[in-house]
Structure 1
Amino acid sequence: MHLAFLTPEYPHAASTTSGGLGTSIKNLTQELVLKGVEVSIIIYGQKRNQTFTEGNIHFYLVKQKNYKFGGWYFYRKFLQNFLNRLAEKEKIDLIEAADWTGITAFMNIKKPLVLRLHGSDTYFCTLEGRKQKWKNRWFERNALKNADRIISVSEFAGKKTMQLFGINTGFKVIPNAVNLKKFTAEDENIDPDQLLYFGSLLRKKGVLELASIFNSVVEKRPSTTLTVLGKDVKDARENTSTLELYRNLLSAKAIKNFTYLGEMQYEQVKFQLAKAAVIVLPSFAEAFPMTWLEAMAMGKALVTSNIGWAPEIMINGKTGFTEHPEDHDNYATKILKLLGNPDLRREMGVNARKKVCHEFSSEIIASKNISFYESVLKQTDN
């Protein structure tokens, strides 16, 4: 079986910046290759065209093309023709794409097309209460209707997406996965006072709420520190740095105990994860967050949000605590409970890793995907 993945991002030095979407695809495809599946990855919107094979995966970086008029349509048709030629030449059996901005809208793909719901622009705009470009919604709806089959990374994201677009098409839930060999549990050199947030600095990630939460924590436990890792993104509402908005919300005590380390390579992120006593991820909008899985895989106690997708990953009171990001006092109370109880942190960290091992390991999730792809190919052959 030869599978192709069409994506705007993938974590590789040759491509542009990647986030959780790219990481989830990398975790899946690397495991698929280990299970004997041939994989091609087409990364569109790139700075240059480039083709190479690495780790038994075939990479096709496709340069972004500019058009005087109708670029949204003509670039999609360009990608359509590229995919169809590649599929015929390399004997690709099935193509998968992500739902973000409906890249496969108006495409006529000659192979079975699977669309995976990682969280569309429509989905995130709704969860954030943010205005959306009408074209993105149009593209995403067309892409959904155009797909042969649909996968969602969570039950919540799948149901919400279908509701938003008024589509009754069924979908298969296959969650994101984490590579357990790369993220291992470590219980040494932990700073008992350190909190850690990692991920892009975005309003939707609850970063601004985290300022008020941290203020409350420091007021009750002055020795507590907070380290933040991730790219500073311009806030869509205020049109300014999210980091600066965050800093302006910190109390005089809290700002002294706050450290921003910016973007880091994976190994550095893992080092910071290992040091932290508690991981804080108060997001408002996710589909099935990789950051949560990675922290859990490292045996860390988490305090996350309790919205929508959260119960599909976290078990409140067992793998950590969940709380609404806007409930600052209760969120802070749960952080303080973990900081003050090393045995509870250790117990929840063990439970968190066990859950990931049993449900979200790359090996388990890859096998589920292979079964799904085989069912799609069998159905389309009949």
Structure 2
Amino acid sequence: MNFIFCCNEYPPSKNGGVGTVTKIVAEELTQRGHRVIVIGSYDYYYPYLNKDKRPIKTIINNVEIHNLTYNRYKRYFGLRFSRFIQLFLRKIYVEHFIIKGAIRKQEGYIKDLADKNKTDIIEFVDYNIFNKLLKFKIKYASYKQKTTFRIHGSASFIHYFKNGSINNTLLENDINYLSNADFILSTSDFSSQFLKKHLNVKSKIDKIYNPISFNKKLVKPLNLESNRLLYFGKLTKTKGIFTLIKAFNEISLKHSEFELIIIGTGEKIQVENEITPHVKSQVKFLGFVSDEELVDEIDKSYLCILPSYFENFSMAALEVLSRKRTLIYTKRASGPELIDDGENGILVNPEDHEELKNKIEKLIIDKDYNFQLAEKGYKHCMKHFSTDKIVDSLEGYYRSILANS
């Protein structure tokens, strides 16, 4: 089969879970004899791009990657001054038309490439950074080829769970974006429910969970003498970091030998302000780290704590389980789809620091229990979320799309 994947955060560009999943799937499909082209659009000053020196087309691990650039006016200004220009253009609504132009450019590029390469299926992801920047409602292109949308969490999804509501223009554009989908594939039951309730999706929604690669590095046994508790992710309230800090402030009174390692960027100053003075030496901020460094930090940890308020289906959580480390995760959203509480991990209310404190302390005290959870979590991850298993399911899904043509 011939595919085009549209992904605006494909590695080695700076990426989140969407880019990671797309890369895992694309590379596995090429190993199975399929052809995959990835098309993405990136801001002129997007990390990694190195301005105009960035290649328009490259091939990595047999995946053909096409990189488009928008906001090219920034090449006339320095990085710092470009930010002020962008804010000014946003204020006077000019940015809307720049972004609309970038969308049309990408749509035309996809159509041309799909025709030229006899593409069977075009796959989009629901998260579209362009929709966050548009000020007015627009229509999106339709395609001759079959289209499927993989649901990771749209801009409306994020806006709703951060603010309790969705901006009308953002909602309308996300609905319009999805309206041209021939097929929709969610990554969790939770995401399916959101689509039906908030984005007015009436058609059938299939579900296949995200895959995790087990081929990165040899998994190291859990070191029960480790004194490192690990958090990684954006430093913001909805990721549960402030709840974790409150819990650790109390944990450190009884277990001063433990330290909290924090990886990620965001509201660092606000997080630091929540740390009580006696604990500051036990909290280490590492900032942004590479994928390889993150794996090393997970391997060195005693357990990992990701008490997020909402997740569609977290790659970060899968990463922890795949390294054979205990995961303390969220009771909300898709958390119960990934973890059986008390069996292969721990689920907590992300706003209840007392519950989180008690669960962490139980694992600190009961090392055998922590070891058992880590082992069972790893086996659960291997059984249900391995790349082989998930891509087997995806191949069946894609074949069903073509059978319905």
Query: Quick check: TM above 0.5?
Result: yes
How do residues 135-150 of structure 1 correspond to structure 2 at under 5 angstroms? 135-150=169-184
What residue in structure 1 maps to residue 84 of structure 2?
Answer: none
What residue in structure 1 maps to residue 189 of structure 2?
Answer: 155
Matched, 1:43 2:40: yes
How do residues 331-342 of structure 1 correspond to structure 2 at under 5 angstroms? 331-342=356-367
What residue in structure 2 maps to residue 378 of structure 1?
Answer: 403
Aligned residue pairs, count:
368
Conserved 8 A contact 1:190-1:274: no
What residue in structure 1 maps to residue 101 of structure 2?
Answer: 74
For residues 268 and 31 of structure 2, what CA distance do their matches in structure 1 show? Answer: 40
For residues 30 and 241 of structure 2, what CA distance do their matches in structure 1 show? Answer: 36
Conserved 8 A contact 1:184-1:297: no
For residues 199 and 34 of structure 1, what CA distance do their matches in structure 2 show? Answer: 31
For residues 166 and 55 of structure 1, what CA distance do their matches in structure 2 show? Answer: 38
Conserved 8 A contact 1:179-1:362: yes
What residue in structure 2 maps to residue 93 of structure 1?
Answer: 120
User: Which residue, out of 280, 285, 288, partners 2:313?
Assistant: 288
Q: TM-score, length-normalised on structure 1?
A: 0.91
User: Which residue, out of 373, 386, 392, partners 1:367?
Assistant: 392
Q: 1:265 to 1:178 in 2, by over 3 A?
A: same
Matched, 1:172 2:206: yes
Q: Deviations over 1:204-251 (max 9, x none)?
A: 211122111211221332222100112x12xxxxxxxx1111110111
Q: 1:155 to 1:273 in 2, by over 3 A?
A: same
Conserved 8 A contact 1:205-1:284: yes
For residues 68 and 319 of structure 2, what CA distance do their matches in structure 1 show? Answer: 30
Query: Which one-letter code corresponds to 1:6 in the other structure?
Result: C
Matched, 1:31 2:37: no
Conserved 8 A contact 1:192-1:339: no
Q: What root-mean-square deviation, in Å, do the aligned CA atoms of Structure 1 and Structure 2 show?
A: 1.9
Query: Which one-letter code corresponds to 2:97 in the other structure?
Result: G
For residues 113 and 279 of structure 1, what CA distance do their matches in structure 2 show? Answer: 38
What residue in structure 2 maps to residue 55 of structure 1?
Answer: 61
How do residues 171-320 of structure 1 correspond to structure 2 at under 5 angstroms? 171-182=205-216, 184-187=218-221, 189=223, 191-230=225-264, 232-233=265-266, 242-320=267-345
Conserved 8 A contact 1:319-1:352: yes
CA-CA distance at 1:72 after TM superposition? 3.6
Partner SS for 1:186: coil
For residues 294 and 32 of structure 1, what CA distance do their matches in structure 2 show? Answer: 21
The range that moved more, 189-198 or 82-91, is 189-198
Partner SS for 2:141: coil
Query: Which one-letter code corresponds to 1:40 in the other structure?
Result: I
What residue in structure 2 maps to residue 237 of structure 1?
Answer: none
Q: 1:226 to 1:21 in 2, by over 3 A?
A: same
Q: TM-score, length-normalised on structure 2?
A: 0.86
CA-CA distance at 1:65 after TM superposition? 4.7
Gaps of 5+ in 2: 45-51, 74-93, 132-138
